[in-house]
Amino acid sequence: MNKIDSVVNLCARRRVIYPSSELYGSPAGFYNYGPLGAQLKRNVENSWWQRFVRNREDVAGMDGCVLTPRKVWEASGHLAAFNDPLVECKKCKFRERADHLIKQELGAEVEGESLEALRELVKKHSLKCPKCKGELAIGEPFNLMFKTHAGATADESSEAYLRPETAQLIFTDYKTLALAARLQPPFGIAQLGKAFRNEIAPRQFVFRCREFTQYELEYFYNDECPFEIRDGEVLALTAEDEAAKREAKLTKISTLPASKWMQYWLGEYLDWLRGLGLRDLRVRQHVKKELSHYSSDTWDVEFLYAEWGWKELLGIAERGTFDIDSHAKASGKDLSLCDGLGKKFVPRVIEPSGGIDRLLFAILTQAFNEKEEKSEKKTVLSLEASIAPTLACVFPLVKKDGIAEKAREAFGLLKGLAVEYDESGSIGKRYARADEAGTPFCVTVDYQTLEDGTVTLRARDTAKQERVKITELREKIG
């Protein structure tokens, strides 16, 4: 079994991440998080919030609505432009994203090409339906937003959409939020929450789903004022640069981004991702046809997802004044700010934006290792201790002779840390269970504990064991 399949299997078996509504056939593109997954997700989300919101004086957080009125998406351009090209078989009605189908059939990267160009390719290569060999037709673009109505009337005035990005909720309110948080440019407003896209063909596990969690930061700056990048080391791209040049046909990565803010945010995010345990990373600039309708320059941070190859983990987009201008025009409100001299200006925006779900899958893939022990395959998830769902498991070697009571005592001393107690099965099985869940430490209480108050502390990645005083455990693992 290849690595990706092994990780997906582990996720399903241990209920880390698994298809939603299994009892009723699991509609594509929806996933639930079980006990380990929910905790891992929360830890990664907290790590982002801590680093990019709590620890920064220039960023404030917000938490906006998921369901939002039509006008927001009309103004943002999503109603008109948030589309994917759809191809349909005239015979069996099979539907697929046109650029994906063409890539699959011809091996050519055609994402971002116009409908006309895609139609031309289908015609030129006489592409047929992969299911029934029927004739293919590329029709109107398919809008990815989920639509509903808020209220008892079902007309255009009550039309509402599940947000396809969290960002718009920041743009509509940015001026009052900045005032409330007493922020002056350059400043950021950050949000972490659910986003929804009716993907034509959700695939590759949580990489492309219909409901997912985004972490987005809109950073507002005044182009006309000279600015400093505070504690900002400028990013050195050399290692990723070389890898990118070798691997990606689309890349134009041989130069640093022109914008200092782009360099700065790439550096910040790469540093954060490395801290989460990711090593196989590179950055890649979008070519023109890949750019979203609101962006003039975008750089992706990509991760090497084992057999899938390099894929987008997050993107940093220069959105300029597009969103604020659009909402000011549509609402008729003045959304400009005043600089120190009383002169009005519309700030430019740079946006680091990523999805938690595909980040978690990257973390799990990077952390996944298999080792052979006594001709048995064992899985070890080498998660960073800072995000592991459980920091340590406490085991009594046996349940009798007061050992379980002593183990409970040790467990009690670790209260407040992410610690679990486990007394079922052989000690080997318990170690294996903990390794597979990515638990960095196991603490075993045995007969010697009763004599000298020490326990065995075992480290997951090296399987090395040392004797440690119960009273020193907390300091050792915390």
Whether the bond between 186 and the residue before it is cis, its omega within 30 degrees of 0, is: yes
Q: Pull the structure tokens for residue 290.
A: 């890949």
Using CB atoms within 10 Å of the CB of residue 102, give its burial: 0 to 12 exposed, 13 to 18 middle, 19+ buried.
buried
Q: Judged by CB, which is closer to ligand GAP: 119, or 282?
A: 282
- Measure the CA–CA gap between 428 and 15, rounded to whole angstroms: 22
Q: Quick one: DSSP state of residue 135? A: B
State in angstroms the smallest separation of the CB of 452 from ligand GAP.
51
State in angstroms the smallest separation of the CB of 210 from ligand GAP.
7
Question: Which amino acid appears at position 348 of this protein?
Answer: R
Q: Judged by CB, which is closer to ligand GAP: 64, or 134?
A: 64
Alpha helix (H) residue ranges in 414-467: 427-436, 447-452
Contact, 286 vs 297, CB < 8 A? Answer: yes
Contacts of 254 (CB under 8 A, 6+ apart): 241, 245
Q: Judged by CB, which is closer to ligand GAP: 351, or 446?
A: 351
State in angstroms the smallest separation of the CB of 243 from ligand GAP.
19
State in angstroms the smallest separation of the CB of 166 from ligand GAP.
7
Q: Judged by CB, which is closer to ligand GAP: 193, or 277?
A: 193
Q: Pull the structure tokens for residue 369.
A: 């290792």
State in angstroms the smallest separation of the CB of 208 from ligand GAP.
4
State in angstroms the smallest separation of the CB of 29 from ligand GAP.
7
| Residue closest to ligand GAP (Cβ) | 355
Q: Which residues bind ligand GAP (CB under 6 A)?
A: 165, 167, 197, 199, 208-209, 212, 214, 216, 312, 314-315, 351, 353-355, 357-358
**Edge-to-edge strands, sheet with 211-221:** 59-62, 187-196, 211-221, 348-355, 309-320, 297-305, 281-285
Q: Judged by CB, which is closer to ligand GAP: 247, or 312?
A: 312
State in angstroms the smallest separation of the CB of 300 from ligand GAP.
7
State in angstroms the smallest separation of the CB of 294 from ligand GAP.
8
State in angstroms the smallest separation of the CB of 353 from ligand GAP.
4
Q: How many CB atoms lie within 10 A of CB 157?
A: 12
Q: Judged by CB, which is closer to ligand GAP: 113, or 357?
A: 357
Q: What DSSP string describes 29-89?
A: T-EEE-HHHHHHHHHHHHHHHIIIIIT-TTEEEE---SEEEHHHHHHHTHHHH-EE-EEEE
**Phi, psi angles (nearest 5°) of residue 323:** -70, -45
Q: Judged by CB, which is closer to ligand GAP: 299, or 431?
A: 299
- Measure the CA–CA gap between 274 and 291, rounded to whole angstroms: 26
Q: Judged by CB, which is closer to ligand GAP: 310, or 431?
A: 310
Q: Judged by CB, which is closer to ligand GAP: 299, or 368?
A: 299
Q: Judged by CB, which is closer to ligand GAP: 292, or 454?
A: 292
Query: Taking Cα atoms as reference points, which of 64, 62, 78, 67 lies closest to residue 327?
Result: 78
Q: Quick one: DSSP state of residue 307? A: G
State in angstroms the smallest separation of the CB of 119 from ligand GAP.
24
State in angstroms the smallest separation of the CB of 304 from ligand GAP.
15
Q: Judged by CB, which is closer to ligand GAP: 111, or 199?
A: 199
Contacts of 209 (CB under 8 A, 6+ apart): 29, 30, 31, 199, 202, 357
Contacts of 437 (CB under 8 A, 6+ apart): 14, 36, 381, 389, 390
Query: Which residue do the tokens 């992410």 mark?
Result: 418
State in angstroms the smallest separation of the CB of 165 from ligand GAP.
4
Q: Judged by CB, which is closer to ligand GAP: 60, or 106?
A: 60
Which value, to the nearest 10 degrees, does the dihedral of the CA atoms of residues 233, 238, 243, 244 take? 70
Alpha-carbon distances of 417 from 152, 379, 463, rounded to whole Å: 48, 24, 21
